[in-house]
């Protein structure tokens, strides 16, 4: 049964390889990718069920027992993240059928997408710090490849900035791992949890922890390290931006959650306070960035950054309730932010632009799209009874209970600013009359494209509504994840086989 854990790597990689082999045939490469994504969804469901039934479980690669070999571990957090990845992967593939042109497809688009998905799953499953680094590298190169695929001038410019800054993160992560190995002699995270307690020079350990904050901080696009995101995410086809926004920065947040509950907890007052300050600035800075822009995708991209602040806030508050908020928030934001970008993609196909002053009238001409956007946008802004409300409510509740009034006030104010941005898009793109009413550049979607693009959007919208109205099971699941993170004994036992 534990072999299940390697399937989230095997399936996407197989789909990637097969896709390359049959790359010549359009239906084959599409079919393979779709089948791979569906299979991954099944596997992620099985992993989730297994975790719920038997708790945390692990797979020792090649049967080299931990900490000597490489371990894959699944707890609730991992199961949730793999599940979300498989959903976004599937939705990405379906939407790409309509949004990706023949040229990009024939240069291996679907295979690269599958490699990316496999890499992201690997990062969530890795129980070994160096192995996590390897998946980070794979995510970086495959996302770079998707980013630059097509070779448009803007893409190249964006992709260079993307990879240069992210390489710094990778380098810092690697240095951190090496230094940590130097003082503990192990790479296995469960083993590290035990070994860091014996480190005498806690000042050094905290210093290394801050190095990890910097590395993961670049990866998850926090203030003031996020430059790569707004510089690059607006350049590729919209579906690529949407997939990136759903998956990439969230891997960084996952790494924070894992490493800053399992390893670096010796000086929470210092490290997690630093995280809290970063979280506050990230929220504000991101939302201000959005206020400065008038292009739908750019506005949404800056909101990725501000929402990262919320996710980090839950980690930084370092309490089970706050962590519940962050985990639930991850599910919420992956779904909603991806969805908003997908809606942007439909607008872009229709109007050939995303500049607010050039689009309009969708409230009248596309009521379904309008409903989908309205629900998602207000969910993002945190209005009840949608998922965004519960996400923010739990975070704000926990910060107030813990007496962190500053971050609570910041989070509330940024929520209002998010409403400001979302109503800006709504007012201009949906309510305002269409400024280019008779423009012949408007293309209608074919019926098939309509299904392929609206299907994912409707599905994701339903998810945010369900997560909001039927919040209890999702919060419960997040609670399991948080409890596991705050009681690492079970994790350690699953990996090392002994109770610490």
Partner 1 sequence: MQRNNPLTLLYDGLIVILALAFAAFFAMQIPTIAQGETIRITLPWVDFLDVNLSFYIDGLSLLFALIISVVGVFVALYSGAYLAGHPQLGRFRLYLMLFMMSMLGLVLSDNLVLLFVFWELTTITSYLLIGFLHETAQGRRSARQALLVTGGGGLAMMAGFVLLATMGGNWELSQLLTQGQSIKEHALYMPTLILLLCGAFTKSAQYPFHFWLPNAMAAPTPVSAYLHSATMVKGGIYLMARLYPVLGGTPSWMVILTVFGAITAVWGSIVAMRQNDMKLVLAYTTLMALGTLTMLLGSDNVVAITGMLTFLLVHSLYKSSLFLIVGAIDHESGTRKLNELGALAGKMPITMVSAAAAALSMAGIPPFLGFVSKEMIYSGAISLKNMSLFTTGSALIANFLMVAVAAVLILRPFFGPAVATPKKVHEAPLRMWLGPAILATLGLVMGVMAATTGHWLIQPAVQAVTNTQQEIHLALFHGFNTPLLLSALTLALGIGVFLAYRPLNGLLAKLESLVPVTGDKMYDHALNGIAKIAHWQTDILQNGSMHRYLATVFATIALAVGYTLFAKGGIVWPDMWPQLRFYEWVVVLLILASTVVTLLAQSRLVAISALGVIGSCVGLIYLMFGAPDVALTQVTVEILVVVLVTVALLKLPGHASVAEPSGSERFGRGVIAILIGSVFTLLLLAVNSVPLDMKITEYFAANSLTLAHGRNIVNVVLVDFRGFDTLGEITVLTVAGITAYQMIKLRLGRSGK
Site residues for partner 1, 463-492, by CB under 8 A, read: 471-472, 475-476, 479
Best CA proximity match to 166, nearest among 387, 174, 14: 174
CB of 179 to partner 1, least distance (A): 5
Q: Residue 444 gets which letter from DSSP?
A: P
* Using rule CB under 8 A, residue 353 touches partner 1: no
* Using rule CB under 8 A, residue 291 touches partner 1: yes
* Using rule CB under 8 A, residue 151 touches partner 1: yes
CB of 459 to partner 1, least distance (A): 23
* Using rule CB under 8 A, residue 52 touches partner 1: no
CB of 343 to partner 1, least distance (A): 18
* Using rule CB under 8 A, residue 419 touches partner 1: yes
CA angle 156–309–41, rounded 5-degree value: 70
CB of 190 to partner 1, least distance (A): 14
CB of 464 to partner 1, least distance (A): 15
CB of 75 to partner 1, least distance (A): 19
- In the block, residue with structure tokens 């696009």: 221
Site residues for partner 1, 314-333, by CB under 8 A, read: 324
* Using rule CB under 8 A, residue 432 touches partner 1: yes
CA angle 395–401–406, rounded 5-degree value: 70
Which of 44, 186, 376, 404 is the binder for partner 1 (CB under 8 A)? Answer: 186
Which of 4, 420, 445, 465 is the binder for partner 1 (CB under 8 A)? Answer: 420
* Using rule CB under 8 A, residue 22 touches partner 1: no
Please, which residues have CB within 8 angstroms of residue 30's CB and are 6 or more apart in sequence?
Answer: 93, 97, 105, 110
Beta bridge partners of 185: none
Site residues for partner 1, 193-252, by CB under 8 A, read: 195, 199-211, 213-214, 218, 224-225, 227-228, 230-231, 237
CB of 491 to partner 1, least distance (A): 19
431 phi/psi in degrees, rounded to 5: -80, -40
* Using rule CB under 8 A, residue 288 touches partner 1: yes
Best CA proximity match to 110, nearest among 68, 84, 145, 162: 145
* Using rule CB under 8 A, residue 98 touches partner 1: no
Best CA proximity match to 232, nearest among 291, 298, 283, 277: 298
């Amino acid at each position: 049964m534990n072999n299940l854990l390697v399937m989230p790597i095997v399936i996407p990689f197989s789909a990637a390889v097969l896709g390359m082999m049959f790359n010549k045939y359009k239906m084959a490469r599409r079919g393979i990718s779709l089948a791979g994504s569906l299979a991954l969804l099944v596997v992620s469901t099985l992993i989730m069920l297994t975790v719920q039934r038997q708790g945390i479980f692990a797979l020792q690669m090649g049967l080299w027992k931990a900490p000597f070999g490489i371990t894959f571990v699944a707890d609730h957090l991992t199961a949730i993240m793999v599940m979300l990845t498989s959903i976004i992967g599937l939705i990405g593939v379906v939407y790409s059928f309509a949004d990706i042109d023949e040229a990009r497809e024939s240069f291996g688009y679907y295979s690269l997408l599958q490699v990316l998905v496999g890499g992201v799953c690997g990062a969530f499953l890795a129980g070994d710090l160096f192995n996590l680094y390897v998946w980070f590298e794979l995510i970086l190169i495959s996302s770079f490849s998707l980013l630059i695929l097509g070779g448009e001038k803007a893409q190249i410019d964006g992709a260079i900035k993307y990879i240069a800054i992210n390489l710094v993160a990778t380098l810092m992560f690697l240095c951190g791992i090496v230094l940590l190995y130097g003082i503990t002699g192990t790479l296995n995270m469960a083993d590290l949890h035990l070994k860091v307690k014996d480190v005498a020079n806690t000042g050094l350990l905290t210093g290394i922890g801050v190095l990890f904050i910097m590395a993961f901080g670049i990866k998850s696009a926090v203030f003031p390290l996020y430059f790569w995101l707004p510089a690059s995410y607006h350049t590729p086809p919209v579906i690529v931006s949407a997939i990136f926004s759903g998956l990439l920065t969230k891997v960084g947040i996952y790494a924070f959650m894992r490493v800053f509950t399992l390893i670096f907890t010796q000086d929470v007052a210092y490290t997690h306070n630093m995280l809290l300050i970063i979280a506050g600035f990230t929220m504000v800075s991101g939302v201000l960035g959005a206020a400065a822009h008038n292009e739908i995708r750019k506005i949404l991209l800056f909101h990725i950054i501000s929402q990262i602040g919320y996710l980090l806030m839950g980690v930084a508050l370092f309490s089970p309730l706050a962590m519940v908020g962050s985990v639930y928030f991850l599910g919420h934001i992956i779904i909603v932010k991806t969805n908003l970008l997908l809606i942007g993609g439909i607008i872009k196909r229709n109007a050939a632009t995303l500049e607010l002053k050039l689009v309009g009238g969708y409230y009248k001409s596309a009521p379904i799209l309008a409903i989908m956007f309205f629900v998602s946008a207000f969910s993002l802004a945190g209005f009840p009874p949608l998922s965004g409300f519960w996400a923010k409510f739990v975070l704000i509740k926990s910060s107030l209970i813990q007496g962190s009034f500053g971050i609570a006030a910041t989070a509330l104010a940024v929520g209002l600013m998010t409403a400001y941005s979302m109503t800006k898009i709504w007012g201009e793109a949906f309510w305002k009359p269409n400024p280019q009413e008779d423009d012949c550049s408007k293309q209608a979607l074919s019926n098939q494209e309509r299904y392929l693009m609206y299907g994912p959007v409707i599905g994701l919208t339903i998810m945010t509504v369900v997560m909001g109205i039927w919040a209890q099971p999702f919060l419960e699941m997040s609670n399991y994840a948080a409890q596991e993170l705050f009681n690492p004994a079970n994790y350690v036992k699953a990996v090392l086989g002994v109770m610490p």
